[in-house]
Homo-oligomer: A and B are copies of this chain.
Amino acid sequence: MTPEEFRRHGHAVVDWIADYMRRVEDLPVLSRVVPGAIRAQLPEHPPADGEPFETILADVDRIILPGITHWQSPNFFAYFPANSSGPAILGELLAAGLGVQGMLWATSPSCTELETHVLDWLVEMLGLPGGFRSGTVGGGVIQDTASSAVLCALIAARERAVRGGATGRLTAYASSQAHSSVEKAIRIAGMGRESLRLIDVDHAYAMRADRLADVMAADRAAGHVPVFVCATVGTTSSLAVDPVAAIGPVCRTHGAWLHVDAAMAGTAALCPEFRFLHDGLEWADSYCFNPHKWMFTNFDCSAFWVADRAALIDALSILPEYLRNRATATGAVIDYRDWHVQLGRRFRALKLWFVIRSFGVRGLQERIRAHVALAQELARWIGEHPDFELAAPATLNLVCFRHRGGDERNQDIMDRVNDSGHLFLTHTKLDGKLTLRLAVGQTGTERRHVEAAWEEIRESGTRGQGPGTRRSPSKGG
């Protein structure tokens, strides 16, 4: 593909996406294909000769699109959002076009310096502790996901303890509501599942700091070494906020590393009125939130800070001869390869820079406030309806609720609304009961989408159980 051909086909792909942004609202949110349906349309063997780009793009519509669950639909309320925006997509495009590696400062200084700078901006924008700034002994880095961030935090904690002469079983702590990535990190780190203690939660599903203190003390008494605590600010199930301000001193007593995972909810701290989320964050050794969830920056982009960058770098740095260079030797630069699992890294700061500059801080705040207001309004409607109940405090932009008719009824409601194609929501279990989750966070979600979702849910709740009349989506299909 010559540069001129790239120009022509590139315009076509941009047009395709612009059109998609308009029509995505009318597509069934959850893909309806059956397993194997996509592969059945793909040729068994790769093509011997090149094909025209027009043919390939036509196949995207014909083969790929029916197998897409539309995460960018304003009617997507499932899981947590992984939203996006025009500036983010164009930042990703430009990063792909430049095609640079940011593993060392020298391999593209802009890639490193823009990242450091934008992460300092975010410290200011979210009101994070000053000790996370690059001018201190701390600093920030973009990870791919919060799973990788918690793994790196755990490794840094473990290495710090081992180098400090710790002997005995190393133990780690998280609430029973913590994300599965904590257990996965423990397993990858080779600490053994039995090293992870899941701490009880209170009525709001937040970690009980008193229980944490008890368990850590008991472990210490048994000769174990508590090295790592993961507090969650906005759990995946119900957006519960662990009391970091109470957890911090407990960690300090035992010399344990405190990681705070605010993957989805952290973005809310852009608004001063939601900064209560970060109470006690000055106790944290590391902190992570994902601009790729709720901050209009396409996946992947997880912002991760440490209070002591030496602990992270000591744990992950290995310098082979072929990576030595003058800039690294001076010690005056950051080589981000030492801050994560991977060696190679792309220029992800570009999209973050595009987003922050395009929206401006006020623009971001307005959209976050609007999402929270919509979720709060929905929580009121649910709370006022005789057949439904809230299953957890509706913090911020997630509403956990259920029909009073029991698990089967709720499963039926979920299946019906998801099969309708009009919206997509997912579930969790709280107190052993099936609970519906509706997260408001897609870039295009407006009041009318939440209203329509609630109407659909309410209607499904009033119908009898069993196979419903599957309606086709309002438009398109």
Question: Interface of A with B (CB < 8 Å)?
Answer: 1-7, 9-11, 13-22, 30-31, 33, 35-39, 42, 45-51, 53, 55-56, 60, 63-72, 79, 82-90, 92-94, 96-101, 105-111, 113-114, 116-117, 121, 124-125, 144-145, 147-148, 151, 155, 158-159, 179-181, 183-184, 187-191, 236-237, 292, 298-300, 315-316, 318-325, 327, 330, 332-333, 341-344, 346, 350, 353-354, 356-363, 426-429, 437
- For the complex, what is the distance from the CA of A267 to the CA of B355, rounded to whole Å? 36
The distance in angstroms between the C-alpha atoms of A35 and B112, with both chains bound, is 10
Interface contact B342-A144, CB-CB below 8 Å: yes
Residue of B nearest to A40 (CB): B113
Question: Are B184 and A98 closer than 8 Å at their CB atoms?
Answer: no
- Pairwise interchain contact B90-A92, C-beta atoms closer than 8 A: no
Residues of chain B within 8 A (CB-CB) of A145 are 342-344
A36 to B, closest residue via Cβ: B113
Contact in complex: B360, A68 (CB < 8 Å):
no
With a CB–CB cut-off of 8 A, which chain B residues contact A300? Answer: 342, 344, 346
B86–A363 touching, CB < 8 Å: no
| B13 x A90 contact (CB < 8 A) | yes
* B contact residues around A83 at 8 Å (CB): 99
Set of chain B residues within 8 Å of A82, measured between Cβ atoms: 99, 101, 344
Closest chain B residue, CB of each to CB of A100: B71
* Chain B hits for A316, CB < 8 A: 184, 187-188
- Nearest residue (CB) in B for A170 is B190
Is there contact, CB below 8 Å, between A236 and B51?
no
Assuming A10-B93, A113-B36, is B190 touching A191 (CB within 8 A)?
Answer: yes
- Min CB distance, A63 to chain B, in Å? 8
